[in-house]
Structure formats: C-alpha cells, structure tokens
Structure 1
C-alpha cells in the first residue's frame, strides 16, 4: 500500500494559507484517476482557510482525476489525518476480519483498492474521532 499525500501551500501577498488532501491507496494515483462524472471516480478531502485556494485545489484534483470534498478549515483537516478512517482506509477496501497488524499490512499491499465516493468521504470526515498523533495499523 502506498500513501499519497497532496499538500498544497500557497501565499497571497502577506496572507498565507494551505490546503491538504490525504488518501491511502493500493493503486498508484494515476491508475485510480478517472474522468469527471465517472461512477467509480474516487474523492479526496480538501481543507483550508481560503475559499479561492480550496477552489484551486479542487480544480487541480479534477485535472488529476479525482473529486474533491471540502471538509472545512485547516483546523478541521485532522479529520483526514493519521488515525482516522479517512486517512488510510477505506481506499484499499474492507479487510477480512481477524487480521493482526502484520497480516493487515500484507493484505493492504495486495488489495487492488476500491473507489471512494465523495459521499463516503463526507461521511467519514463528519464522523471522525480525533485520536493520538501517528498512524497505527494494529
């Protein structure tokens, strides 16, 4: 499994702002990309404090083959960070029950991945629970 992290930082005059989208996928970013309007197109979260910057990130993701889901401000960006359901999973798909950490890593590395809709990204962001920093696969 590879982690694809898109962090876009820009500054407009003296006013800095940043956006982020995070996805974990077993497929390469290019193989997961789909044309706009395709039913199996995946979405990535976007967070930022500047509406224009978020629009630019949304346009970039569209060109790259992904839908964008606005999950709020930079203060809300933790909803797609480590130890949230949106950070690593659901992009590889649902693993078989009963796997330990090592088995889960091996399963994720072999998984072909699944498309994650904009609606699913919204649901996962809305129900995220803030946990400790750092990713855990156990």
Structure 2
C-alpha cells in the first residue's frame, strides 16, 4: 500500500537505486527511477514528485546541474531535493546549496535515517519503515 507520495531516484548505480527503491517502497512511497541527470530532468519535466533524491557524479549532466535545471521546472521550484553521494567536499556542498539542494546525505547511510528524513521533508509524521534491528 502506498501513501500517495512520489519520489524520484536519480543515480547511475543500479545497486543504490535498488536499495533506495526497496526501502522507500517498503515505507509506502511510489518510486520512479532515472539512471542519469539527463533522464532525471526529463522525468521531472513530465511528472510531479514530492521529493527527488540524486547522486552528484553522473555523466554529462551531473546531479548539481540537474538540480539547477529542475528548479526551473514549474511545479518543482519548492520540491525537496536530497543529494545522496560520497562527495563531502565543502565547495561541492556549497554549490549544491546554491543550486537548490535541500539536504546532503553522505554514503554510506542508514536506511532508517534516510526514510525519516524523507518522511519529514514530505510532511509525513509516521513512517511505515521496518523497525531497526
């Protein structure tokens, strides 16, 4: 059963997309995926999302470039966008904030923390995430 909230995952790593898809669907979210910044932008231009999660280091249009362009899409000016990456360089983080990233999550991450952050960003007060083991 879904909660009606839609999340777009943009990451070139199949294993990261799978991990995010499984945990977010398990928490009741509808999940769409894109394998590149270009594809993520195209998907965001066609559909509304309650939250977008993107990697930084991807092909020709990286995550930060995608965020900058998604912010120009009507309907996504205020959409929460999480950056999920191994990149923690201050200049890159600063650039992320400049282009409109809402939150910065460094890999590796704890699933329960990510789901809690997504819940908070989309205004959910209760998560359907599995209990911590």
* TM bucket normalised to smaller: 0.3 to 0.5
Higher relative contact order (CA 8 A, sep 6+): 1
More strand as a share of residues: 1
The normalised TM-score by structure 2 is 0.34
More helix as a share of residues: 2
The normalised TM-score by structure 1 is 0.34
- Structure whose alpha-carbon radius of gyration is higher: 1
